[in-house]
Amino acid sequence: MSPVKRGNTLPIYNRVGVLRAERKMSRAQLAELIEVNPQTVGALERGDHYPSLDLAMRICDVFDLPVEAVFSRQELGPLSAELFRREKNA
Amino acid sequence: MNTSDSNVLTRYQAYRTRRFIENDAKTRHWLPKWRTQRRRRMLAIAVAATLIILLIISICSLFLEWVPIAWFPATALFLVLWTMLQTVSGRHSDAPTGALDEWEVQQRNEARSIGLTITQGTVLAAIVPLIFLSTTIDNENLAYAGASWTLTALLAGICSPAMILAWITPDPDPEDL
C-alpha cells in the first residue's frame, strides 16, 4: 500500500480485476500494456498497492474509461448494477 | 548540482539500468526450483546462519590463533548462498529505479530503509565493544578480530534488504505466469 505521510489513510477501491476479466485480458497482458510487472497488477487488484496518478491514468487509457469509473473512495459495486439499476420506487 | 553534473548522473543511471536489465535477462531463468517463497526463505535463513558463523569465528579469533582459517570455508559458503539468494530474488534490493515498477520501487525502498537501520545498529554494536576492549585488554589479535566482526556487522546490514524482499515477496499467482 502506498505510504501516506500525513493524515488518515483513505482507501482507494478499483475495478481493475473486473474490467480486465470483462475484456478477457490476462494479468500479464495488462501488465505489458501499462509497463509493470504482472505481480504489480495482482497487488493493485487485491488493494495491496494504491497506484500513482501516472499508473492510474495508464490503466484508464487501456480500458478507455474515465478515472472515476475505475477508481473510487467508496467500495465499488457491480458495474452492470450501476448502469442498469431498476428504480424500485419508480 | 549543475546541469553537467546532472547529465552525468542521468547517463550513469541509464547505464546502470541497461546493465541491470541485460544481466536480469541472462539470470531470470536460473535456479527455477529455488524461486518459490519457501525456498527463498530457506536461503535467507541460511545466509543469516552463515553471518552468525562468521561472527562466532571473528570472536573466537580473539583467543585462538588458528580460528581465522575457518573464515575461508565460511566466506565461500556465504558467497554461494548470497549469490543464490540474489539470483532467485531478481536482485531487486540493489536494482536501479529505472528497472523496477512503482510497487517494486516502493517495496525496495521500505526494505532498504530497514536495512539502513540494521546496518547502523549492528555496526554500532560491533564498534562499541572494540573501543572498550582496546582500552582494557592487551591482545595482539584484537585488531583482526575487531575488523572481522565489524565486517560481519556491515555484511548483515548489506544483506538485510535482499533477505527481507526474499522473505516477503509472495509466490507469483498462476495467472501471472
* DSSP string covering chain B: --HHHHHHHHHHHHHHHHHHHHHHHHHTTSSGGG-SHHHHHHHHHHHHHHHHHHHHHHHHTTT-TTGGGGHHHHHHHHHHHHHHHHHHTTTGGG--GGGS-HHHHHHHHHHHHHHHHHHHHHHHHHHHHHHHHHHH---TTHHHHHHHHHHHHHHHHHHHHHHHHHHHPPPPPGGG-
Q: Which residues of B touch A16 (CB under 8 A)?
A: none
- In this prediction, residue A89 has a pLDDT band, given cuts at 50, 70 and 90, of low
- In this prediction, residue A58 has a pLDDT band, given cuts at 50, 70 and 90, of very high
| CA distance linking residue B140 with residue B63, whole number of Å | 10
b or e along B79-103 (b: 16 or more beta carbons within 10 Å of the residue's beta carbon)?
Answer: eebbebbbbbbbbbbebbeebbbbb
What is the mean predicted confidence (pLDDT) over B139-157? Answer: 95
Phi (first) and psi of residue B97, to 5 degrees: -55, -40
According to DSSP, the β-strands at A71-72 and A13-14 are antiparallel
Cell triple for B136:
582494557
What is the mean predicted confidence (pLDDT) over A51-71? Answer: 96
| CA distance linking residue A19 with residue A27, whole number of Å | 11
What's the pLDDT score for residue A78?
78
What's the pLDDT score for residue A85?
72
Q: How many CA atoms lie within 13 A of B170 on its CB side?
A: 10
| CA distance linking residue A65 with residue A68, whole number of Å | 8
Per the DSSP assignment, residues forming a β-bridge with B126 are: none
The pLDDT of residue A39 is above 50: yes
Each residue of B157-167: pLDDT tens digit? 999 999 999 99
- In this prediction, residue A10 has a pLDDT band, given cuts at 50, 70 and 90, of confident
What's the pLDDT score for residue A87?
62
Position of cell 459495486? A77
Each residue of B47-86: pLDDT tens digit? 999 999 999 999 999 999 899 999 999 999 999 999 999 9
User: CB distance from B23 to chain A under 8 Å?
Assistant: no
What is the mean predicted confidence (pLDDT) over A8-35? Answer: 93
| CA distance linking residue B97 with residue B109, whole number of Å | 10
Q: Which of A3, A40, A42 sits opposite B101 (nearest CB)?
A: A40
Tell me whether residues B173 and A42 touch, CB distance under 8 A. Answer: yes
User: CB distance from A36 to chain B under 8 Å?
Assistant: yes
Tell me whether residues A39 and B172 touch, CB distance under 8 A. Answer: yes
The pLDDT of residue B38 is above 70: yes
The pLDDT of residue A8 is above 80: no
Per the DSSP assignment, residues forming a β-bridge with B151 are: none
- To the nearest whole Å, the CA of A13 is away from the closest chain B CA by 17
Extended beta strands in A1-87, E state: 13-14, 71-72
What is the mean predicted confidence (pLDDT) over B105-131? Answer: 96
What is the mean predicted confidence (pLDDT) over B165-173? Answer: 90
What's the pLDDT score for residue A90?
47
Q: Which of A42, A44, A55 sits opposite B176 (nearest CB)?
A: A42
Q: Which of B104, B170, B177 sits opposite A40 (nearest CB)?
A: B104
